[in-house]
Amino acid sequence: MDDIWRNAARKVHERAQQTTTATANATTATTTDSITATSDFLRPPEKLRQLWQKTAKRAAKKAYQTNFIKTGQSLDTPLAEVNRAIIDRATKDAITANTSIEQHDARLRELERAWCREKITLFPEHVRDTFAAVRIRLEARDTKHAR
């Protein structure tokens, strides 16, 4: 039992030394004109990163299970069926605002550009699908009015 406590105390001491040396490396140097920082950023240890990943996976799994229990919706359900209400609402908004197809396409391109500026992931397909469904309904409206 004493070995466990000695090992724990040694690890705490080693971690304290690591953080003090990392802090010393990350100090800033002052000049008369400006203050510049070195490029040595503190990074979490590998075990802590693994713990974060494990916690994130558990949280995602729990959220999925809770969502499935509440709504009965699984991730295997096609989004076209799930987003029917969203598509209907978007269509209603586009028609009441008298949006043209060109304006609708411009809004999609604007959303995609804004997404690319802010995120590093791909633009969500369900948003594209929603815009496509609304565009089809707008085209049907325009052909109906053209007759």
pLDDT digits (tens), the chain, 147 positions: 567 777 777 877 787 777 666 665 555 444 444 444 445 667 888 888 888 888 988 888 888 777 767 666 665 655 555 567 777 788 888 888 888 889 989 999 998 999 888 888 888 888 888 888 888 888 888 888 877
94 within a domain of the structure (yes/no): yes
73 within a domain of the structure (yes/no): no
91 within a domain of the structure (yes/no): yes
Look at the alpha carbons of 137, 140, 146, 147 in this order and tell me if their dihedral is positive or negative: negative
**What is the rounded distance in angstroms from the CA atom of residue 110 to the CA atom of residue 86?**
20
For residue 28, the cross-strand partners are: 37
Classify residue 124 by its DSSP letter: P
**What is the rounded distance in angstroms from the CA atom of residue 102 to the CA atom of residue 106?**
6
133 within a domain of the structure (yes/no): yes
9 within a domain of the structure (yes/no): no
**Amino acid 106: pLDDT:** 92
53 within a domain of the structure (yes/no): no
Total domain count, the chain: 1
21 within a domain of the structure (yes/no): no
Query: What's the pTM?
Result: 0.43
How would DSSP label each residue in 18-72? HHHHHHHHT-EEE-SS-EEE-S------HHHHHHHHHHHHHHHHHHHHHHHHHH-
Measure CA 114 to chain center.
14
Give 100's contacts (C-beta < 8 A, 6+ positions apart). 138
97 within a domain of the structure (yes/no): yes
Give 64's contacts (C-beta < 8 A, 6+ positions apart). 75
Domain limits for position 135: 78-147
